[in-house]
Amino acid sequence: MHKLSRLLLIPASLCLVTLSCAAADVKFDALPAMFRQTCGKSVEIHVAPLTASNAGHVLLGLKNRETGALDLFMSETQMSETLNYAQYNKVFFDSLSRQYVTAPERLSIVWGGAHEDGKEDAVYRLALGSHVYNCGKLEKLPDNTVNRLYGDAEDETAG
């Protein structure tokens, strides 16, 4: 019986490792083609297109001033490449279903862009309740995949 319990412990341990690895793959900062944008004086948002079952939707991350956490908001509708104005609802990632699920607190924001006055670049705005913030240009963040795979480990010191 003791041998059987040790054998059962190995698959259980592997499952825990697999789940933790899967959770690491869905972190907001690991999504491809991420952008950053500043709205108003200091409201920084992070933008990432979603894939798989949420393909076509966009995920926004805004830093919560009260908790310091990055809160996630998913577009209510599928988005075009121009990222027109849309409503975004607060979500969280449910690791069991591997889906973004609407958060219990029903918070919504509006974000997007439009070409105004014949301008070539879209003008973006962020609406948080009754406050509307003008946003700067979308800045593409560097792809750190190569560094993550081949660069120095984060805990190594320069030597």
> Closest Cα to residue 31, out of 141, 154, 147?
141
Average pLDDT over residues 99-112: 93
pLDDT reported for residue 6: 36
**2-46 per-position pLDDT tens digit:** 433 333 333 333 332 322 222 222 345 445 447 899 999 999 999
Indicate if the pLDDT at residue 54 is higher than 70: yes
pLDDT reported for residue 12: 33
> Closest Cα to residue 46, out of 126, 105, 103, 149?
126
Is there a contact between 111 and 45 (Cβ–Cβ < 8 Å)?
yes
Q: DSSP for 55-74?
A: TT-EEEEEE-TTT--EEEEE
Higher per-residue pLDDT: 109 or 98: 109
pLDDT reported for residue 112: 95
* Phi and psi at residue 4, to the nearest 5°: -65, -40
- What's the rounded Cα separation, in Å, for the pair 52 and 42? 32
**108-152 per-position pLDDT tens digit:** 999 999 988 888 888 999 999 999 999 999 988 777 778 778 888
Q: What's the pTM? A: 0.72
Higher per-residue pLDDT: 65 or 25: 65
Distances in Å between the alpha carbon of 148 and those of 32, 33, 105, 138, 152? 14, 16, 35, 24, 8
What are the structure tokens assigned to 47, written together? Answer: 């933008």
**85-97 per-position pLDDT tens digit:** 999 999 998 888 8
